[in-house]
Amino acid sequence: MIKEVKIVSKNFDIPNSHNIEVALKNGRYSSIDKLWSYNNQDIIDIVKDSGLRGKGGGGASAGDKWALMPLDGDKPNYLVINCDESEPGTFKDREIISKDPHLLIEGIIYSAYAINSHQAYIYIRGEYKEFQDILQSAIDEAYSKNFLGENIFNRGYNLDITIHRGAGAYICGEKSALLESLEGKRGHPRLKPHQKEPEWYFDNPTLVNNVETIASVPFIINNGAEAYKSYGTELSSGTLLFALSGHIKNRGVYEAEFGTSMMDYINHYGGGIRDNKKLKAVIPGGASTTILTAKEVENITLDYESLRAIGSSLGTGGMIIIDEDTNMVEALKNLVEFYHHESCGQCTPCREGSSWVDTIMKSILDGVANNRDIDKILEIANTMNGKTVCVFAPALADVIRGFILKFRDEFEGYIKVD
């Protein structure tokens, strides 16, 4: 039984909810006065206590990440919002910025105040020009109300928001590549530090969070950590905007609390499989997460721990529904082509491995491959896993293994040469 919950999506169905006057009538900025009753550390502690986790794919504790930011350093702190929504199957952030952009702006105000930042950047996907315009209009409205700029809300605090439009590179959704791009350099991921520390923008401490993560903060500040923890599971608190696409009757974005049955979610919000066909598989969290068979989906719940326990990931919550008539060899070829094209080329296992697998996949579909080629793909995937700067190649390796190990008979059906 689905319990419908709307925290982030509360105003999505209200006409003209992107307009500031409509937003104000429907609760936006209503808890701003409460914000000023707390100091920086108070806000960080509330977010940490709420169990809020990053909703851009990683699922790490948001509060722990915020706590890495120095509050009394001699360098300026920056807040960067990751809206480079380029993961195939993921389209939830554009719902926030087009239907309730003032929720995001409100969340930015709270988050910037918490980490003592006076400058926030929104790095948006280059193809999102239409949504960027809506967001920019909302930002302009906030400036006109003195919600942004100098001495916001007459509280002696300054905050500016700047939108930076990307150039369409998928890799710039990775936070360090995003920052490289924001600095005007090529979008190559950075080597990870050995210890926990903030990100760095022009050598200044920087917090990078996903749009939905920041948009969840106003509810937490307004209602308290316990109110947020009342939804979800013990380890996965709150809700997530799940995006449904593929062979489903009702494609769209629907909010649900963590711990919801995946099958119940698909049937309740999605209306079941299109054309009344049988479910074959689900890619649960965007194209870079390991595919699940229909049998696995029957017993899984939508939370980080459950997906991890069966070797997959909740990711961004972008569920791609696959029906019984889908050719899994063609489906994998389609995904591999995308990742081959989007590899930044910095790391040899990723650059050469994605190209090599793409080539072998073509030979399989052309009927000129043998069984050793299928095993060769798995061998290449092993060389790509854990041997690169970022998780792009390991994610692709998991995608490859998932398709071949779970649907190998379909691949073998193409073998014509032995």
The stretch 79-90 carries a mean pLDDT of 96
Q: So what's the pLDDT on residue 66? A: 98
The stretch 272-286 carries a mean pLDDT of 96
pLDDT tens for 218-241 read: 999 999 999 999 999 999 999 999
Q: Report the top-level CATH class of 239-323.
A: alpha beta
The whole-model pTM stands at 0.96
Q: So what's the pLDDT on residue 18? A: 97
Whether 113 contacts 123, CB under 8 Å: no
**Is a pLDDT exceeding 90 seen at residue 134?**
yes
Exposure on the CB side of residue 363, measured as CA atoms within 13 A: 16
Residue type at position 244: L
CATH number of 329-412: 1.20.1440.230
Q: So what's the pLDDT on residue 7? A: 97
> 314-343 as b/e, with b when 16 or more CB fall inside 10 Å?
bbbbbbbbbbeebebbebbbebbebbbebb
Count H helices, E strands: the chain? 19, 13
Whether 244 contacts 319, CB under 8 Å: yes
**Is a pLDDT exceeding 90 seen at residue 194?**
no
Q: So what's the pLDDT on residue 58? A: 86
- Domain boundary assignment for the chain: 20-229, 239-323, 329-412
- The pLDDT confidence band at residue 183, using thresholds 50, 70 and 90, is very high
Q: So what's the pLDDT on residue 418? A: 59
Closest CA to 42 of 235, 220, 231, 239: 220
Q: In the structure encoding, which two tokens stand for residue 258, read together?
A: 């963590």
Whether 180 contacts 169, CB under 8 Å: no
Domain 20-229 has CATH 3.40.50.11540: yes
Exposure on the CB side of residue 67, measured as CA atoms within 13 A: 13
pLDDT tens for 247-261 read: 999 999 999 999 999
Residue type at position 188: H
- The pLDDT confidence band at residue 76, using thresholds 50, 70 and 90, is very high
- Percentage with pLDDT > 90 across the chain: 95
Q: What's the mean pLDDT when you consider all of the chain?
A: 96
The stretch 74-80 carries a mean pLDDT of 97
Q: So what's the pLDDT on residue 385? A: 85
Residue 124: strand pairing partners: 83, 165
Q: In the structure encoding, which two tokens stand for residue 320, read together?
A: 């791609």
CA-to-CA distance for 395 and 315, rounded, in angstroms? 11
- The pLDDT confidence band at residue 417, using thresholds 50, 70 and 90, is low
pLDDT tens for 303-329 read: 999 999 999 999 999 999 999 999 999
Phi/psi at 388 (5° precision):
-135, 165
**Is a pLDDT exceeding 90 seen at residue 386?**
no
Q: So what's the pLDDT on residue 37? A: 93
Whether 141 contacts 20, CB under 8 Å: yes
